Amino acid sequence: MSKVYWVTGISGVGKTTFANILKKQLDKKKISSILIDGDELREILKKQNNYSKENRVEVAMIYSKLAKLISDQGITVIVSTISLIKEIHLWNRKNLKNYIEILIKRDLSEIIKNDERNIYKESEVVGMSIDAEYPEKANFVLENIKIDEIEKYIRKHIL
């Protein structure tokens, strides 16, 4: 039975790292899965320069509908995306079978300190200049998890 793992949080929190480790764990269990990374898909869609609420909802809805299309065919989907938008969380819960929402949180000061991509020097950043609408009912909330703890956490709590 396929699932949709929706890995969300602000920029630089470790979503992609978490999603990659989850993908490797699914591969080890021989579970057919695909990883959709929001940064990569945004680049493909050429939507990276517009961070208006309307554009962010549009792009997030594409992620959701793509996840639905793939999971309805029996493939587990991992979506790694900011998409901190209430209407997207609600749509996903209503429309995606076996939907598992994973919210990753980290102290903003730590994120900014380790901001190798200089994301937080930009003017449009979710969680700072753009309001973040955190999920109200995430299945899992990971706060300040260390990279070397992720694999164990996934094995113990998620898979």
Catalytic residue numbers read: 83
Backbone angles phi, psi at 129, to 5 degrees: -80, -20
In 3D space, the residue among 27, 32, 31, 3 whose CA is nearest the CA of residue 100 turns out to be: 3
Q: Contact at 8 Å (CB) between 147 and 17?
A: yes
What are the structure tokens assigned to 18, written together? 């978490």
Quote the CA–CA distance of 68 and 95 in Å, as a whole number.
8
**Who's near 133: CB < 8 A, 6+ residues apart?**
84, 85, 86, 89
Q: Contact at 8 Å (CB) between 158 and 104?
A: no
Q: By three-state DSSP, how is residue 28 classified?
A: helix
